Copies of this chain bind each other. A is one copy, B any other.
Amino acid sequence: MIECSVCHSTLELETVGGKTVSRAYDRHRHQVSSKTRFLNVALVVGDCILVGLQPILVYTTKVDGGFKFSPVSVNFLTEAVKVFLAIVMLLLQARHKKVGEKSLLSFSTIAQAARNNVLLAVPAFLYAINNYLKFIMQLYFNPATVKMLSNLKVFVIALLLKIIMKRRFSIIQWEALALLLIGISVNQLRSLPEGTSALGLPVATGAYLYTLIFVTVPSLASVFNEYALKSQYDTSIYHQNLFLYGYGAIFNFLGIVITAMFKGPSSFDILQGHSKATMLLICNNAAQGILSSFFFKYADTILKKYSSTVATIFTGLASAALFGHTLTMNFILGISIVFISMHQFFSPLSKVKDEPKNISLESVDSPKNKR
């Protein structure tokens, strides 16, 4: 038990210390500076551009309504590009080494970092499964239905953050997440195909399990990724990226091997059916992946989610401005809800009540705080 020097109220140390993911991350978390805010804005803007390009690129890669190339090959190539980008970024970063710092390229540093970050194999495995699922869903389900189902991820992510990252959300924040879900749905209502049922989801009974997997796997991957990156906060993100995408490449290569076992050796021809368009899509995917790592390490999965939604909104506004579409009432009401939700989620008013106490008590390296 310790006493606050200002309000003289006693607090159990267990509850304060029990909620930490890593000490280095906690230190970072309480140094909210203008630098962090700038980083967040930069992440959101970058994400908006990449996510905004995605539907255009996917559209250009479709031939006769389907894909000519194997989805597994796209995933493997994406991981390969990510590993390549991660190596380039690591090399660039290593040149900016300050005097007295250990080189990022020394074998001992890399070996130590690799040992500490084996946990990254878990999200890499989940992502490999999810990438495959994503293509399957787009081929066999209606795109509008896929979109509607994807909205449910917001809630699953929040639930997983609560369980895995010990994050606490206030009631207002839970409501903000519900509003995000509702806002996106209102926006999508008009695009739903005719003849869908009252609840808008024409899913067969068997498809419910499929939906559950489709929603849970990527959410679990993101939250586990956030956990793995933050729990080894002292490891350079450039090392972490290298390991994450290295594991990713291995798992996707295994995917190709398994496909080859079932469909014959032609699956090894990973460049089959690819064009310039698919290469652009792959580079965009890779860049989004790299950006996600920064989101998960320095911000969080929820900000990533809001960022994607804002990207969709800007795409809508841009297409309205460029092609002279009129904005539907659904779009206007939907984005109003999303922006209110966003303000409520990040507003200091809605933060969990005892958060400020934590900050004032967890002074860095105070001997009292050690567990």
List residues of A whose CB falls within 8 A of some B CB. 170-172, 175, 178-179, 182, 185-186, 189, 192, 198-200, 326-330, 332-333, 336-337, 340, 343-344, 347, 349-350
Contacts and interface: CB of A to CB of B under 8 A. Distances in A.
A351 to B, nearest CB: 10
A327 B186 contact: no
Q: Number of copies of this chain in the oligomer?
A: 2
B189 A340 contact: no
A172 B336 contact: no
Given A185-B333, A330-B189, A340-B179, A347 B172 contact: yes
Given A171-B347, A343-B175, A328 B182 contact: no
Contacts of A347: 171-172
Nearest to A353: B349
24 contacts: A170-B349, A171-B343, A172-B347, A172-B350, A175-B343, A175-B344, A178-B336, A179-B337, A179-B340, A182-B336, A182-B337, A185-B333, A186-B186, A189-B189, A189-B329, A189-B333, A192-B329, A198-B326, A198-B328, A198-B329, A199-B332, A337-B337, A349-B349, A349-B350
A175 B329 contact: no
A200 B329 contact: yes
A281 to B, nearest CB: 32
Nearest to A326: B198
Given A329-B198, A329-B199, A175 B340 contact: yes
Contacts of A330: 189
Contacts of A182: 333, 336-337
10 closest Cβ contacts across the A-B interface?
A: A198-B326, A200-B329, A175-B340, A182-B333, A186-B186, A186-B333, A182-B336, A185-B333, A182-B337, A172-B349
A62 to B, nearest CB: 28
Contacts of A172: 172, 344, 347, 349-350
Nearest to A174: B340
A346 to B, nearest CB: 12
A192 to B, nearest CB: 8
A328 B199 CA distance: 7
